[in-house]
């Protein structure tokens, strides 16, 4: 809004492959519901599969390609090692298993070698057996619906398209796996003695329906009892109990006992006891009324402190750089979380393919961090082509050196040519300025761009200092020195443009509070950003104070759909009697603002229709995104906003609106968006709406 930057679209061309996942369930039309519906017997003719010829006899329930697919692995084995009786038997076994896993519970397959490299598989299919009535008795803790959900879980996973229980094929191995899941369900809630009967089928007279009866004996629920610590405590007993309170709350299971053991071990290690070992013991056989006494054996060892960093594997990156990333740990109590933060900091530089940090005891109670690294290529060159609604075709070049002079500091050079002009920048970053947690960024840039009614020329230098206050909150301060020139002016009268060339010096502050779940493709959370900058009188030819703010909130509606709500606004006020230059004003309209207007066209205009911008603006957005197929999403939206000529009149007057829909294709770097916004109340000279093509979040 302060000055429109071109949208970079890097188009990465690749090949997308689709893999067709298949279940073992034959299509519904291939399953007869009774023996008399079976198609007439068809014999397959021998077909050469490599050197092996396989003949299927009596196999009518499935197409031949599925039969061959079911024994493909064994066919390859035969062609590799030869056809003999054991291999032939194995092929028959695979085919028989395929039938039984698809509901033909009594299927039998006989394998016969009929000649050199000739195998006949004779199939006695038997009837297709479907599940009938499920009867559960003895359950009081869980209702029958829950028990059935676990019992039928493996079967439904095999046949996901069949929703009706009475249409599900009976697969013995899946039902038995489901019964085991029921046992685990009870055990996970402390019913360690629960017994679940084997689900033996009760077949109907014609053998096509299997009724299942499941008998459950639940037993008692075990709970944690008194916890006794054995060994040097080091810490107060109350603190140790608090450390395992979540794991030992109420229900006793072996898994929770192990989790308590690990939690207490972590508690000691986070406080410097690197070699601490913990062993928790609790025997349900010793329980009284289901209450299990627990004994925890403690061997804390000695308290360790960080001391020194040894580096191996580096060649281009200086050893001192790696050591400094971990230098703050020196003399501190050992804490694995601090080691992990150091690991993340090294990985996030992009300088390494892999980093391994191993704490090694040295000199009694000291730990040396042995850091082994595998360096990545530090330099890269990129070429991009793309398209943006306003800029048209784009070609971009970039060069990056992430390890300038071996210091681990990145330098990037970028250049872009598009149908409206060209721009470039050189950027140097120092994420550890003066070996502190402040980040220095220095940019030198140039822009020449054809705007609506004039051409903008800008040369600038912008140093900034950033600091992460928390993982979600960042603040920064910057200084700005620019030379701006406006040329090719079509706006009439030219006095509406303001000063045509001027130096500018400003200082400012920004902050970003970001709680989005994903910066590129957010579906939940929020972000609030704000900035203020001040160009004082006496330093440059233009003096002003400006403030802008943005708030976006994302609400998940379903697993793959979400609602986004956004609000933005800005105001700038001249500190002199002179009008602000046109390229310091706010503009509105386009892919990220009010989408019924083309880029920068919303707001005051001259008599020829060229936009003049204003000293204040507002934008409000509401968008619902929903899945279509795969990574393709649809969106419906409404936008509202305005541009106000005089900051003194800041408000919600003269609002303009958009109602529209669009498509989004999600990539890891963001969404490729195509939107059409309809202008519900076009004025003279305004279009009925606008198309907008862009990449990234709309707001």
Query: Residue 477 maps to which CATH number?
Result: 2.40.160.50
pLDDT in tens, 594-618: 999 999 999 999 999 999 999 999 9
- Does the pLDDT at position 672 exceed 70? yes
Structure confidence at residue 51 as a pLDDT band (50, 70, 90): confident
Structure confidence at residue 691 as a pLDDT band (50, 70, 90): very high
Shared domain for 583 and 669, answered yes or no, is yes
Percentage of residues in the chain with pLDDT exceeding 90? 89
Query: For every residue of 633-664, which 3-state class applies, written as one string?
Result: EEEEEEEEEEEECCHHHCCCCCCEEEEEEEEE
Looking at the domain assignment, is residue 5 inside a domain?
Answer: no
Return the pLDDT at 604: 96
Pairing of strands 223-230, 130-137: unpaired
pLDDT in tens, 463-494: 999 999 999 999 999 999 999 999 999 999 99
Return the pLDDT at 165: 84
- Does the pLDDT at position 37 exceed 60? no
Shared domain for 64 and 134, answered yes or no, is no
Q: Name the residue among 381, 315, 316, 305 with its Cα closest to residue 338.
A: 305
Distance CA 565, CA 623 (A): 7
Cβ-proximal residues to 377 (8 Å cutoff; 6+ apart), any chain: none
- Does the pLDDT at position 561 exceed 80? yes
Domain end call among 166, 196, 217? 217
Shared domain for 67 and 177, answered yes or no, is no
Looking at the domain assignment, is residue 358 inside a domain?
Answer: yes
Looking at the domain assignment, is residue 429 inside a domain?
Answer: yes
Looking at the domain assignment, is residue 38 inside a domain?
Answer: no
Shared domain for 116 and 181, answered yes or no, is no
Looking at the domain assignment, is residue 476 inside a domain?
Answer: yes
Structure confidence at residue 24 as a pLDDT band (50, 70, 90): very low
| Structure tokens that stand for 195 in this block | 């017994």
Percentage of residues in the chain with pLDDT exceeding 70? 93
Return the pLDDT at 14: 34
Domain end call among 348, 375, 402? 375
Shared domain for 515 and 596, answered yes or no, is yes
Cβ-proximal residues to 579 (8 Å cutoff; 6+ apart), any chain: 498
Domain end call among 299, 320, 344? 299
Query: Residue 257 maps to which CATH number?
Result: 3.10.20.310
CB contact at 8 A, 108 and 80: no
Looking at the domain assignment, is residue 366 inside a domain?
Answer: yes
- Does the pLDDT at position 462 exceed 80? yes
Residue-number span of the structural domain to which 99 is assigned: 53-124
Return the pLDDT at 16: 32
Shared domain for 147 and 237, answered yes or no, is no
Whether the ω angle into residue 132 lies within 30 degrees of 0, i.e. cis, is no
Structure confidence at residue 50 as a pLDDT band (50, 70, 90): low
Shared domain for 143 and 244, answered yes or no, is no
Q: Cα separations (Å) of 688 from 578, 608, 613, 674, 693?
A: 36, 19, 21, 17, 17
Structure confidence at residue 179 as a pLDDT band (50, 70, 90): very high
Looking at the domain assignment, is residue 30 inside a domain?
Answer: no
Distance CA 20, CA 450 (A): 49
Q: What three-state secondary structure class fits 284?
A: helix
Q: What are phi and psi of 529, to 5 degrees?
A: -125, 150
In 159-269, the DSSP E strands lie at: 195-196, 201-203, 209-217, 223-230
Query: For every residue of 488-536, which 3-state class applies, written as one string?
Result: CCCCCCHHHHCCCEEEEEEEEEEEEEECCCCCCCCCCEEEEEEEEEEEC
pLDDT in tens, 357-415: 999 999 889 999 999 999 999 999 999 999 999 999 999 999 999 999 999 999 999 99
Looking at the domain assignment, is residue 12 inside a domain?
Answer: no
In the predicted model, what is the mean pLDDT of the chain? 92
Shared domain for 236 and 332, answered yes or no, is no
Shared domain for 166 and 313, answered yes or no, is no
CB contact at 8 A, 334 and 325: no
Question: Measured in whole angstroms, how far is the alpha carbon of residue 479 from the centre of its chain?
Answer: 35
- Does the pLDDT at position 495 exceed 60? yes
Q: Helices 144-151 and 172-188 sit at what angle, rounded to 10 degrees?
A: 130
State the total domains in the chain. Answer: 5
Distance CA 270, CA 300 (A): 12
Shared domain for 525 and 646, answered yes or no, is yes
What does pTM read for this prediction?
0.71
Shared domain for 340 and 203, answered yes or no, is no
Shared domain for 354 and 503, answered yes or no, is no
Q: What mean pLDDT is predicted for residues 301-311? A: 96
- Does the pLDDT at position 46 exceed 60? no
């Amino acid at each position: 809004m302060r000055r429109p930057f071109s949208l970079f679209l890097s188009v990465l061309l690749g090949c997308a492959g689709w893999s067709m996942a298949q279940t073992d369930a034959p299509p519904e039309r291939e399953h007869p519901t009774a023996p008399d519906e079976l198609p007439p017997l068809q014999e397959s003719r021998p077909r050469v599969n490599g050197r092996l010829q396989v003949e299927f006899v009596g196999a009518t329930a499935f197409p031949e390609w599925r039969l061959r697919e079911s024994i493909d692995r064994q066919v390859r084995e035969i062609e590799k090692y030869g056809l003999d009786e054991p291999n032939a038997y194995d092929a028959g076994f695979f085919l028989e298993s395929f039938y039984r896993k698809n509901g033909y519970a009594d299927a039998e397959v006989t394998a016969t070698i009929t000649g050199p490299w000739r195998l006949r598989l004779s199939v006695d299919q038997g009837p297709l057996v479907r599940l009938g009535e499920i009867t559960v008795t003895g359950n009081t803790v869980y209702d029958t619906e829950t028990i059935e959900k676990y019992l039928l879980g493996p079967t439904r996973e095999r046949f996901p398209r069949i929703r009706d229980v009475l249409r599900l094929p009976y697969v013995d191995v899946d039902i038995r796996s489901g019964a085991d899941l029921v046992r685990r369900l009870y055990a996970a809630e402390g019913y360690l003695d629960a017994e679940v009967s084997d689900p033996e089928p009760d077949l109907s007279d014609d053998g096509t329906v299997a009724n299942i009866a499941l008998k459950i004996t639940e037993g008692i629920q075990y709970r944690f009892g008194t916890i006794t610590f054995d060994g040097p405590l080091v810490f107060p007993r109350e603190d140790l109990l608090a450390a395992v309170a979540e794991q030992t709350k109420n229900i006793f299971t072996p898994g929770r006992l192990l989790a308590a053991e690990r939690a207490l071990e972590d508690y000691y290690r986070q406080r410097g006891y690197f070699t601490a070992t913990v062993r928790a013991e609790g025997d349900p056989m010793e329980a009284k009324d289901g209450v299990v006494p627990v004994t925890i054996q403690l061997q804390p060892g000695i308290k360790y402190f960080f001391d020194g960093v040894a580096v191996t594997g580096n060649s281009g990156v200086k050893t001192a750089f790696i050591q400094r990333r971990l230098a703050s740990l020196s003399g501190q109590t050992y804490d694995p979380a601090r080691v992990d933060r150091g690991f993340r900091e090294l990985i996030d530089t992009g300088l390494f393919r892999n980093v391994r940090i191993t704490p090694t005891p040295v000199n009694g109670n000291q730990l040396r961090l042995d850091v082994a690294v595998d360096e990545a290529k530090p330099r890269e060159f990129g070429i991009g082509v793309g398209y943006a609604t306003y800029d048209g075709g784009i070609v971009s070049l970039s060069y990056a050196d992430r390890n300038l002079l071996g210091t681990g500091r990145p330098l990037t050079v970028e250049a872009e040519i598009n149908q409206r002009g060209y721009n470039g920048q050189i950027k140097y970053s120092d994420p550890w300025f003066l070996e502190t947690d402040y980040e220095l960024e220095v940019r030198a840039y140039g822009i020449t761009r054809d705007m609506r009614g004039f051409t903008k020329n800008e040369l600038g230098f912008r140093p900034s200092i950033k600091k992460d206050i928390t993982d979600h909150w960042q603040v920064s301060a910057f200084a700005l020195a620019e030379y701006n020139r406006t040329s090719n002016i079509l706006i009439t009268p030219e006095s509406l443009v303001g000063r045509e060339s001027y130096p500018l010096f400003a200082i400012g502050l920004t902050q970003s509070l970001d709680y989005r779940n994903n910066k590129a493709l957010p579906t939940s959370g929020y972000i609030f950003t704000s900035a203020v900058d001040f160009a004082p009188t006496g330093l440059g030819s233009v003096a002003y104070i400006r403030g802008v703010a943005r708030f976006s909130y994302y609400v998940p509606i379903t697993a793959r759909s979400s609602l986004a709500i956004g609000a933005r606004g800005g105001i700038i006020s001249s500190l002199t009697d002179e009008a602000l230059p046109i390229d310091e004003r706010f503009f509105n309209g386009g892919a990220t603002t009010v989408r019924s207007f083309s880029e920068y066209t919303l707001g005051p205009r001259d008599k020829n229709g060229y936009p003049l911008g204003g000293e204040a603006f507002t934008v409000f957005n509401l968008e619902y995104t929903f899945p279509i197929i795969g990574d393709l999403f649809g969106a419906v939206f409404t936008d509202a906003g305005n541009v106000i000529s005089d900051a003194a009149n800041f408000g919600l007057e003269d609002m303009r609106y958009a109602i529209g829909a669009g498509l989004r294709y999600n990539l890891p770097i963001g969404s490729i968006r195509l939107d059409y916004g309809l202008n519900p109340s076009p004025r003279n000279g305004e279009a009925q709406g606008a198309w907008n093509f862009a990449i990234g979040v709309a707001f």
